[in-house]
Amino acid sequence: MKRVAIRTEGEGDVQDLTPAVAEAVRASGVHEGVCVVSAVGSTCAVTTLEYEPGLVEDLGAALERVAPKNARYAHHERWGDYNGHSHIRAALLGPSVVLAIDGGRPVLGTWQQVVFVEFDTRPREREVAIQVVGGPAGPQRSKRNA
């Protein structure tokens, strides 16, 4: 397993993990299999999207409509840390993605990147775990691509 350290700027920070994921797959030597990319923490998430400023802004706006920052959260009232919306947003997006591996590379669309999304209200030191499982190309795969 590869662990990637991330330093975030706090709420709304989105970082492209695609190069780190591709490198983890390459370094594993796996040609056919799956790669799990997982955020470690309850106020952050991993997903795929087209990593460009407009869509990053749209994602934040959509999540504000679904889980508004200034709504009432029992978590706020219990702990006083005012990040209940952060936990909800992370739960909605999810902590991980699973990618197929084909030919020693993660299978992603032309405009699809793997991204880390920070929802906590302050800058954080984070970790992402990348687990690659699989093996070399099988005989059927080799014949199909010959």
Per-run averaged pLDDT (10 residues), the chain, 146 residues? 98 98 97 98 98 98 97 93 96 98 97 98 98 83 48
Which pLDDT belongs to residue 142? 46
Number of other CB atoms surrounding residue 69 within 10 Å:
16
Helix, strand, coil shares of the chain, percent, nearest 5, are: 30, 35, 35
Look at residue 29 in the predicted model and tell me its pLDDT: 96
Contact 24, 99 (CB under 8 A): no
**Amino acid letter at 145?**
N
The pLDDT tens digits of the residues spanning 68-93 come to 999 999 998 899 889 999 999 999 99
> What is the widest separation between alpha-carbon atoms in the chain?
62
Q: Which domains does the chain have, with CATH numbers?
A: 2-144 (2.60.120.460)
Per DSSP, what are the bridge partners of residue 16? 115
Q: Give the side-chain half-sphere CA count within 13 A for 134.
A: 27
